[in-house]
Structure 1
Amino acid sequence: MTRKFSNRSNYGKLMLLIGLLVAVPLVIVPFYPQDAVHVVSFIWPSLFSILAGSIVCLVGKKEASTFQWRSSMERSSITVLFAWAWGVLVGAMPFILSGQLTFVQALFESVSGWTTTGLSVMDVSATPHIFLFHRSFMQFCGGLGFVMMIVMLVQDKQSMNLYNAEGHPDKLMPNLKKTARTICLMYNGFLFAGILAYVIAGMSLFDAVNHTMCALSTGGFSTRLNSIGEYKSFSIDIITVILMLIGTTNFAVLALLTKRKWRQVIRVSEVKFMFLLLLAFVPITAFSLISGLNMGIAEGFRRSLFDVSSALSTTGYSSMSYTSWPPLAIGMLILTMLIGGGIGSTAGGIKMSRIYIMVRITLQNIRKRLLPPRNVEAAYYFRAQGKTKIDSTLAMDTTGFVSSYLCLFIIGTLLLTITAGCSLTEAMFEFASALGTVGLSIGITSPDTGSATLVVEMIGMILGRLEIFIVFIGAYSICSALKRKL
């Protein structure tokens, strides 16, 4: 069955939103007057996006589209891809117009920002404050997503499809707009708490704002060349770990936390699984660092806790360079980056819920072979919404996603060995970071990185942020729509 629907108004709203977001970094110019020379680099892309969005909205209201779409998923996937493509392009323009980066580098920085990855080709020690804030603000907004921000202001019949298509599986409230506003309220509440904690710990206000935005969005852009490790402060490390774990926690679970429903939070399978993973990976990584780098026990566990939390939450803050890390410790980080954070959070990766479901399916399969044929047990897990059965549909969807993710990881890794001329281990680390939208780097991604390598990583970041299938569905839908129109 085909339906008639106009997507133009949604495109226009998204273009207006992106134009406004790109203008936000201008608020710091009064505090850093030396950056006033770069104001025009932000004004032109912002005005262009706002003007173009206004025209599209007006045309969309006056002229209903007669193009017939096959499904709501087709419409939604194309709209989401358009929003992210437009956001990347407009977000890259300030870097290009100011001469800070080349075209490919600017696109890379913009993709890394909006997708909350954190891999960077900028020398932050020589980057003006307005661009440092622009990168961090892109990550903060990218954690929520363009559709989430639009839903907070307006809601139409297609909003729920768009909301799901962008990777938000849970409704916290009966009303979708209330859900979006609840998430935004929590997000901003944690932002102010994080900024205050960092300032008390001795961080400057500018650095505190940037690092809190990037920690909560599990982004990882830093204003410091050596990331959080440059501060050499235990209190700043602990605050960052807490913010990273908050950012990687499902929004629905965070809603339970704000309501002080501790028992329900403790029952959530993903929460228990996250702490189990930390209990397993942190000691192994710590002992590897202690024996391989001759670290003290306290220092080894501190470094391990920070970097494993950063990798598992897909944030990407680092405490030190990884070039001298032992192979076992590097392997632990690759595994944690592949596993990723919580589903329905700002994190990337396969997601802990999917890994947990795969483990349950595997254990059930083993039990099935060991127990008598009549003894059949139904597997289940606990979400924030309650007990959920692991049925055949959920098992198939999970298996399909995990296998697709691992296939892309293998392909991307092999491509990096060709384009970057690096070892297999280095390529595995860097592409796991790109696909998982993590941002940790073993040294491949830098201002000197070639365009081919940056393109491979950009593709990985986009596929990882939009959870693979939406990109494929969107690309297929665009090709199908063009064929039908022609």
Structure 2
Amino acid sequence: MIHYKAILKVMGGLMMLLGVLMFPSVAFAYYYHSGDQITLIASALICLTIGGTFFFSFANQDQNIRKREGYMIVALSWIIMSVFGMMPYLLSGTIPNYSDAIFETVSGFTTTGASILTDIERLPEGILLWRSMTQWIGGLGIIVLTVAIFPLLGIGGIELFVAESPGPTSDKVHPRIRETAKRLWLIYFGLTILLVVIYYLEGMSFFDAMNHSLTTMSTGGFSTKNNSMAYFNSPLIQYTAVFFMFLAGTNFTLIYFAFKGHFNRVWASDEFRAYFISVGLLVVGIFAAVYFLMDDSFEKSFRDVLFQVVSLVTTTGYVSADYTVYSNGLTIIFFMILFMGACAGSTSGGIKFIRHLTFVKNSTLEFKRIVHPRAVIPLKINGERVTGKVITHIMNFLLLYLMIFVLGSIVMSIAGYDLITSFGAVATSMGNVGPGIGRVGPVDNFAFFSPFAKLFLSFLMLLGRLELFTILVLFTPYFWRAN
């Protein structure tokens, strides 16, 4: 039996937390006299009131959250966050349309960075900060944040942590899951504050530095400028963004080990080495082509390629140049990057390098097994044997991801969009990247899509952020059968 009252209690706590997290935007609205403070206060109070009603009504419920409750809470929390997170847009009138507001909010919380806004710079400061905050909240996940700061989840915290955390990884910085979540969020918060200071010293206004720090560390890509990072025509700012995007795409457990001085553990990670080397090879290969195709200087060509490759691999989605104008061949390569993702346990979306690495290693070993059918040839990652269960899970994930991409592209094509745009929209939504190809390229936005298409793409964003199974398992009959 599913403990629905325990679920409602946790959902109430999450809504209260969401309301509290709206108040920094209120402070900025008052400071800048942007006129949206009442809207933000009203939105926060609605979340606190409804959340508090659920939480205190079921305060005495058992906190023993099992696996099924964990998956339900994670899936429902992201839906409810999106529904209530769009209230500032609706109440302020900055995004008066429901399908547009839900799209922008889901894009924020899932750190996709796709937007329907055609003139971002006209938005008031409070709304802009809330827009950036949605990405920062969703970066490591609101469930992980709640496990870190609330004793609310009790024993069931491990189930929620596993259900929400991106990518298959067993690395922990502490044997207690609450301590792990707390340390991960402290690293996340500390790096964000550090980046605010650096951006500010490099020439951004404090407001721009704050917003771009929130969306860089979350690998989200929302900007306060219509031209994204291209607005800041500063090599120093762009190189800084590259470094912190790459850092945010790294497993945060490895960042913790690096802070502790255990650098050997960082390079010993097969996934990190694959991540580092792949980014390097992509940058060198694409730069060699771009330098001869374009008239830009050596440094400008290198910087644009480095920035766009890191931005797409880490699924940040910042834009410094239009990569679709280089050549058709390079556009295909950039499209393929949408399926990469960075490291498991990072803030990036996408498939993740650990899955690609497992697939490649297992495929290579399969050739050896064909030649030596009686030999026992185990697959090892980081020197440890990968079980058949994990391999099967990863292979199923990759196949399911491909199937959903194909079916999603068909749905978008039936909805009336050309094939290239359909491919680009579905790929970038599932990968939580932001820019794609076709009519959703790096200098375009998603405003032209129909309400149905926006809701469908929003669903794909959630599906991708929660690693497919967390949501899809709710649609299986096995999930709902009584124990």
TM-score greater than 0.5 by the shorter chain: yes
**Unaligned segments of structure 1, at least 5 residues:** none
Distance 1:465 1:146 in 2: 12
1:163-202 paired onto structure 2 within 5 Å: 163-167=161-165, 169=169, 170-202=171-203
CA contact (8 A) 2:82 2:102 kept: yes
Distance 2:327 2:427 in 1: 18
CA contact (8 A) 2:8 2:55 kept: yes
Q: CA deviation at 1:72?
A: 2.5
Which residue matches 2:377?
377
Distance 1:11 1:212 in 2: 28
TM, length-normalised to structure 1: 0.91
Q: CA deviation at 1:147?
A: 1.0
| Paired letter, 2:32 | Y
Which residue matches 1:140?
136
Q: CA deviation at 1:93?
A: 0.8
1:28-427 paired onto structure 2 within 5 Å: 28-33=28-33, 35-36=34-35, 38-62=36-60, 72-101=66-95, 102-122=97-117, 123-155=119-151, 156-167=154-165, 169=169, 170-370=171-371, 372-382=372-382, 387-419=383-415, 421-422=417-418, 424-427=419-422
SS at match of 2:384: strand
**Unaligned segments of structure 2, at least 5 residues:** none
Distance 2:478 2:212 in 1: 38
- Could you tell which deviates more after superposition, 21-30 or 233-242? 21-30
| Paired letter, 1:78 | M
| Paired letter, 1:278 | V
| Paired letter, 2:38 | V
SS at match of 2:286: helix
SS at match of 1:31: helix
CA contact (8 A) 2:218 2:347 kept: yes
- Residue 19 (1) aligns with residue 28 (2): no
| Paired letter, 2:332 | G
Q: 1:478 to 1:138 in 2, by over 3 A?
A: farther
Q: CA deviation at 1:474?
A: 2.8
- Could you tell which deviates more after superposition, 214-223 or 321-330? 321-330
Distance 1:261 1:45 in 2: 44
CA RMSD after TM alignment: 2.3
| Paired letter, 1:56 | F
TM, length-normalised to structure 2: 0.92
| Paired letter, 2:123 | T
Q: 1:198 to 1:73 in 2, by over 3 A?
A: same
Which residue matches 1:433?
428
Q: 1:293 to 1:73 in 2, by over 3 A?
A: same
| Paired letter, 1:380 | K
- Could you tell which deviates more after superposition, 266-275 or 192-201? 192-201
| Paired letter, 2:320 | S
Distance 1:137 1:4 in 2: 30
| Paired letter, 1:429 | G
- Could you tell which deviates more after superposition, 251-260 or 373-382? 373-382
SS at match of 2:159: helix
Q: CA deviation at 1:323?
A: 4.5
Which residue matches 1:451?
451
Q: How many residues align?
A: 470
Q: CA deviation at 1:16?
A: 0.9
| Paired letter, 1:75 | E
Q: 1:55 to 1:285 in 2, by over 3 A?
A: same
CA contact (8 A) 1:288 1:326 kept: no
Distance 1:320 1:274 in 2: 23
CA contact (8 A) 1:113 1:138 kept: yes
| Paired letter, 1:368 | R
